[in-house]
């Protein structure tokens, strides 16, 4: 098998993309296979079955690897356990998927075997609503699981193992990493006699597929692997893309076998929805003096001795003529190589690294930092200081700026706008601060958001879910940005928070009235009202 054909087995369109009982003996996929935490949980469940009425549901999304796990255990256990590999479809023309599951559960009751079902989470919802009343116990058990109630209240004969409980990205110490993607890239590129990909690539070194050869050489570099993992993390956080095992393998396939060099395949491809979304992280979108100057000079074919020297040294990686007069491609190369030091060049001559400071994604780094603060919060002084800085200088500041956008004269940070009436501005004093006790008690469970916990005076406010996009908006507001209709998804959340705050402060015993340069306080003292001039 040629190197390219071997890589084609990673494509989601490959006949080997989904494991079945008929194609499970694939040497290439067997080499790349990684035992995940989901499989460890499944192995524990299958080896601890105690009765024949037990059902194990292996749940997740299409492409996450359910069939991979089930087919691996089929040979060993199919004589004593019934396997139903895919409950998403019906394989009988006169039955839909719900009817097929009804029949499966009826057969299970009549059999003397436990049952294992591979099923998409969406089908779990469908069956819990539309399944037969004959299996009301199973439907109730599914509803109980989907409600998110404590697992110790789950009926013991039904076990649910969900890929979503074992995400591809996990917090490790002070970083968010993906051991799964990292292990896949390591196994794919390691220089080993056991690696069929490396051996096939090595055997074809002298043959004419130079771009594929260069892409594999680039992917072998640990800093480039790390950058790809971080880029997919950005996609996960910014666009809420759920990365399944099949998706990740398909991305690697397209990075290597695409028509261009790896850096262009990563940021300038439109082959799938995922790659179209990756274009938002294209370093060509970054605006800075250094980047703009390079793009202009390169477009005008301006002679630059340092850049010429760099191109001579990059020849061991790529053919510079392939991206001649393509400044965007050169900029993507600089980004891909930003943590690589080229041999034979002095530190001062590492031309590609002069742009490194422009490539920092402060938003993603800030979100990751704050998410980890919430996840790892134990209450020590440094953590408290860092969290209070975020709450007071970013979140609360943005909330009040947004609330007071129609009353810019409210310079007092502790005042919140309530209404305009006959030329007068009505506002009230508020005391909003972080509730660090709740932060410590309720850690974030999903990487896509963390809950911010606020107190208004002595009252807890509802948890405020903060995503990357919400954090981006509040940072922009603090820099003077005025939200518009394009921000409607996160604006709704902001408006709900402000409404919950103003609904409470309207009942305060003291409100402030402002007109022009004059300010009065209206004080309610046991149903007697006093107006006091503020100076």
- Residue 94: the pLDDT is 54
Burial of 362 (0-12, 13-18, 19+ CB in 10 A): exposed
Which 8-state DSSP code applies to residue 39?
H
- DSSP H helix total and E strand total for the chain: 23, 16
CA distances from 257 to 1, 211, 266 (A): 15, 8, 11
56: CB partners within 8 A, 6+ apart: 42, 45, 46, 49, 114, 115, 116, 117, 159, 161
What tokens were used for 326?
């393509």
Four-CA torsion 120, 124, 126, 131, nearest 10 degrees: 130
Total residue count of the chain as it appears in this document:
535
Q: Taking each helix axis as running N to C, give the angle between helix 179-189 and helix 210-219, from 0 to 180 degrees, rounded to the nearest 10.
A: 130
What tokens were used for 506?
């309207």
Q: CB 528: neighbour CB atoms within 10 A?
A: 7
- Residue 3: the pLDDT is 93
Q: Look up tokens 């193992």; give the residue.
A: 161
- Phi and psi torsions of 99, nearest 5°: -65, -35
Cα angle 181, 187, 3; round to 5: 110
Burial of 160 (0-12, 13-18, 19+ CB in 10 A): buried
Question: If DSSP codes are grouped into helix, strand and coil, which group holds residue 176?
Answer: strand
Contact assessment for residue 514 and residue 409, using Cβ atoms and an 8 Å cutoff: yes
What tokens were used for 337?
């190589």
- Residue 137: the pLDDT is 94
Give DSSP secondary structure letters for 383-430.
HHHHHHHHIIIIIHHHHHHHHTTT-TT---TTEEEEEEETTEEEEEE-
CA distances from 379 to 386, 437, 457, 458 (A): 11, 8, 21, 20
What tokens were used for 54?
């037990």
Which 8-state DSSP code applies to residue 281?
G
For the segment 120-139, what is each residue's pLDDT rounded down to a tens digit? 999 999 999 999 999 999 99
Closest C-alpha among 140, 20, 168 to residue 89: 20
- Residue 69: the pLDDT is 92
Q: CB 111: neighbour CB atoms within 10 A?
A: 12
Distance between CA atoms of residues 16 and 8, nearest Å: 9
- Residue 513: the pLDDT is 85
- How confident is the chain (535 residues) per 10-residue block, as mean pLDDT? 91 62 67 92 94 94 88 91 77 73 94 93 93 94 84 72 91 89 96 94 86 96 96 93 90 96 97 95 92 88 84 90 92 94 78 88 90 94 95 94 85 79 86 94 91 92 94 92 79 90 84 81 67 65
Contact assessment for residue 334 and residue 358, using Cβ atoms and an 8 Å cutoff: no
Contact assessment for residue 372 and residue 174, using Cβ atoms and an 8 Å cutoff: yes
CB < 8 Å & 24+ apart, contacts of 482-490: 482/405, 483/402
Residue 520's DSSP bridge partners are 513, 533
Residue 419's DSSP bridge partners are 426
Every domain range in the chain assigned CATH 3.40.50 = 37-165
55-60: strand order across its sheet? 82-84, 115-120, 55-60, 158-162
- Residue 19: the pLDDT is 52
Q: What is the pTM of this model?
A: 0.87
Closest C-alpha among 330, 335, 314 to residue 227: 335
- Residue 489: the pLDDT is 78
User: Which segments of 181-300 are extended strands (E)?
Assistant: none
Which 8-state DSSP code applies to residue 466?
E
Q: CB 407: neighbour CB atoms within 10 A?
A: 18
- Residue 81: the pLDDT is 95
Q: Are strands 454-456 and 528-534 parallel, antiparallel or unpaired?
A: unpaired
Of 3.40.710, 3.40.50, 2.40.370, 3.30.870, which CATH number belongs to 37-165?
A: 3.40.50
- Residue 149: the pLDDT is 64
- Residue 420: the pLDDT is 87
């Amino acid at each position: 098998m040629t190197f390219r054909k071997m890589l084609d087995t990673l494509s989601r369109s490959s006949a080997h993309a989904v494991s079945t009982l008929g194609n499970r003996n694939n040497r290439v996929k067997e080499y790349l296979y990684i035992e995940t935490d989901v499989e460890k949980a499944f192995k524990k469940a299958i080896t601890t079955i105690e009765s024949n009425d037990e059902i194990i549901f292996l749940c997740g999304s299409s492409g996450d690897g359910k069939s991979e796990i089930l087919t691996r255990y089929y040979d060993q256990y199919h004589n004593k356990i019934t396997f139903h590999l895919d409950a998403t479809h019906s394989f009988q023309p006169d039955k839909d998927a719900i009817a097929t599951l009804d029949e499966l559960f009826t057969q299970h009751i009549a059999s003397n075997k436990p049952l294992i079902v591979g099923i998409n989470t969406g089908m779990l919802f469908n069956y819990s609503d539309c399944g037969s009343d004959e299996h009301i116990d199973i439907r109730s058990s599914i509803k109980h699981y989907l409600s998110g109630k404590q697992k110790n209240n789950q009926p013991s004969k039904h076990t649910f193992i969900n890929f979503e409980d074992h995400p591809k990205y996990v917090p490790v110490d002070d970083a968010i990493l993906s051991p799964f993607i990292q292990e896949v890239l390591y196994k794919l590129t390691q220089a080993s006699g056991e690696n069929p990909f490396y051996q096939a690539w090595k055997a074809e070194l002298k043959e004419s597929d130079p771009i594929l050869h260069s892409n594999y050489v680039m992917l072998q570099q640990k800093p480039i692997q790390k950058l790809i993992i971080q880029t997919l993390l950005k996609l996960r956080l910014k666009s809420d893309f759920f990365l399944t095992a099949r998706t990740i393998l398909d991305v690697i396939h397209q990075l290597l076998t695409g028509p261009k060099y790896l850096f262009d395949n990563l940021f300038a491809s439109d082959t799938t929805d995922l790659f179209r979304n990756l274009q938002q992280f294209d370093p060509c979108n970054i605006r800075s003096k250094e980047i703009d100057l390079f793009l202009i000079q390169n477009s005008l074919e301006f002679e630059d001795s340092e850049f010429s020297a760099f191109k001579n040294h990059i020849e061991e990686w790529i053919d510079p003529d392939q991206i001649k007069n393509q400044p965007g491609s050169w900029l993507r190369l600089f980004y891909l190589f930003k943590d690589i030091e080229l041999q034979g060049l002095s530190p001062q001559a590492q031309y590609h690294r002069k742009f490194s400071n422009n490539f920092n994604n402060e938003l993603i780094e800030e979100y990751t930092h704050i998410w980890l603060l919430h996840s790892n919060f134990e209450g020590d002084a440094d953590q408290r200081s860092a969290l209070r800085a975020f709450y007071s200088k970013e979140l609360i500041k943005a909330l009040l700026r947004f609330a007071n956008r129609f009353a810019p004269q409210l310079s007092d940070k502790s005042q919140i706008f309530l209404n305009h009436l006959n030329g007068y501005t009505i506002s009230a004093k508020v005391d909003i601060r972080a509730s660090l006790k709740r932060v410590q008690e309720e850690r974030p469970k999903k990487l896509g958001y963390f809950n911010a916990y606020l107190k208004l005076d002595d009252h807890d406010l509802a948890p405020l879910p903060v995503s990357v996009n919400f954090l981006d908006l509040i940072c922009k507001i603090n820099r003077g940005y005025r939200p518009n209709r394009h921000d409607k998804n996160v604006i709704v959340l902001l408006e709900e928070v402000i409404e919950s705050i103003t609904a409470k402060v309207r009942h305060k015993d003291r409100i402030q009235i402002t007109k022009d340069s004059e300010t009065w306080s209206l004080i309610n003292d046991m149903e007697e009202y006093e107006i006091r001039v503020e100076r």
